[in-house]
Amino acid sequence: MSRVLVIESSARQHGSVSRQLTQDFIAQWKAAHPVDEVVVRDLAAEPVPHLDADLLGGWMKPAEEQSAAEQAALSRSNLLTGEVLDADVLVLAAPMYNFAIPSTLKSWLDHVLRAGVTFTYTETGPKGLLTGKRAFVLTARGGIYAGGPLDHQEPYLRQALGFIGIHDVTFIHAEGLNMGNEFQEKGLASAKAQLAQVA
């Protein structure tokens, strides 16, 4: 049995390709694998605040020295990090905004990339602590960027996930969505074919 954590980051609740891919993935994964639980965190519906002084204080100050705001920020980070720790499979739905990931997804990462919790510093450098997990990243892109110099999504997310020990990462890109009907249909068909294979 497995626990799946889905992180939605599209600003659109309707007409979102990344959300469509997420639903397809969940249905296919459930059909092929025994699943205990699917937890969906929607960063558009419930945005995570940017990393700020309150969060840093919550991480770094002793409990008795924390303000109420710092305690609240720490509790939020603990909740988000706990969801990742509990998950066996992580699904990131990430539309491309201005060549990169949505800022809401970056804020989520800032809450869960935590020294001593999801990674640790060693004499040979940082070491990820979340080994044994799988991750799938479902992207939606107006143009075609995979493997090119303007694709800042995949390299960044591979590095961020690898930093916390998640190295088994599969990217599925739906590309060319704003390049006309032919490219759109081809991009969606390619993404859905890859989904069927990995699920």
Summarize the annotated binding site for FMN as residue ranges.
10, 16-18, 96-99
With CA atoms as reference, report the closest residue to 78 among 48, 98, 103, 99: 48
With CA atoms as reference, report the closest residue to 18 among 194, 191, 196, 193: 191
**Would you state the torsion angle of the CA atoms of residues 96, 136, 49, 17, taken in this order, to the nearest 10 degrees?**
40
For the annotated binding site, the residues are 10, 16-18, 96-99
Residue for token digits 């995570």? Answer: 48
SS (H, E, C) 83-144: HHHHCCEEEEEEECECCECCHHHHHHHHHHCCECCCEEEECCEEEECCCCCEEEEEEECCCC
- Residues with Cβ < 8 Å from 11, sequence gap 6 or more? 44, 95, 97, 102, 104
Quick one: 135 exposed, middle or buried, by C-beta within 10 A (0-12, 13-18, 19+)?
buried
β-strand partners of 120: 127
